[in-house]
Amino acid sequence: MSTLIVQHPALSDSSVAAFARLTNRPPQFRDPTYALWEAVSLDGKALSQAAEQHRVDAEVVAADARLSAYSLAAFDMDSTLITIECVDEIADFADRKAEVAAITEAAMRGELADYDESLKRRVALLEGLDESVLDQVWRERVRLSPGAGRLVATMKQRGLQILLVSGGFSFFTERLARQLGIDHVRSNVLEVSQGRLTGRLLGEIVNARVKRETLERTCHQIGCAPSQTIAVGDGANDLQMMSIAGLSVAYRAKPRVRSETTHAINHCGLDAMLRYFTDTR
């Protein structure tokens, strides 16, 4: 049988009552942020409609699911582990944020046929910026998403290795990896010459295909199957790696991504996914 988990940072009695009507019984557990119903069988469409109506995160999970059954968790960075899109914030220093952000948004929704070209267009608009801008963005604008630190720490405590695979930039992924104790990192590299951004990237672009291949390669490296991995992201370029993972979570994601993943978190912090597993509730 399955377990229903309903979550919100301030879970209202009216929301709980709505799901009690849906399940025909009160929850087995209730606290200010989540409610749990055991041994449920629910229509997915009705569940989604109720979650949307009451603006909560509601997921049906396996009753015996354990986080410790997984070996690897793969995360996107921008708008997933951190709250911003780094390329947009860098572009702000060139007075091109609105232009770059519009391209980023379309790319994350999966509306652009050529992701690589869209990234090159955005990076080209950064040409001439002093490289000190990168450090300024890191210090002043990069913030962890709610629950990110707790989620990664708990995963590591349960024996999972952590992969950060991002279409963002190595300047930020390397610092984030040190901050969170992340084991494996793959991202794009901005070219710098004489202390200024050239508007170009070095090496292969980390796109959807490369993200999937990086997950596969890391699995081979540590000796696990993709079915033993968790993939977390928010954009269309995360879907290929999410499609091969044993469990995928769309975090405050675009509609297409939410529709193609195992679970979605729209209102809570990243650590809400810990309640999917009996050994971390």
Q: Identify whether 76 is a catalytic site residue.
A: yes
What the block records as the tokens of 33 is 């942020």
**Residue in the block written with tokens 């801008």:** 133
Position 45 scores a pLDDT of 85
Could you state, in order of their start, the residue ranges of all structural domains in the chain?
1-64
**Which one is catalytic: 43, 57, 64, 78?**
78
Cα gap 18→40, rounded to integer Å: 15
Report which of 203, 141, 144, 199 is spatially closest to residue 170, judged by C-alpha positions: 203
Q: Identify whether 78 is a catalytic site residue.
A: yes
Cα gap 228→246, rounded to integer Å: 6
Q: pTM to 2 decimals?
A: 0.95
Question: Which residues, other chains included, contact 209 with Cβ-Cβ below 8 Å and sequence gap of 6+?
Answer: 240
111 in helix, strand or coil? coil
b/e map of 80-115 (b: 16 or more CB within 10 Å)? bbbebbbbbbbbebbebbeebbebbeebbebebeeb
What the block records as the tokens of 225 is 């199957």
**Which one is catalytic: 31, 57, 76, 130?**
76
263 in helix, strand or coil? strand
- The hierarchical CATH code for the domain 1-64 is 3.30.70
Cβ atoms of 191 and 170 closer than 8 Å: no
Position 113 scores a pLDDT of 79
Residue 7 β-bridge partners: 34, 57
Give burial (CB, 10 Å; 0-12/13-18/19+) of 116.
middle
Per-run averaged pLDDT (10 residues), the chain, 281 residues: 95 97 96 96 87 96 96 98 97 96 88 90 96 98 98 98 98 98 98 98 97 98 98 96 98 91 96 97 93
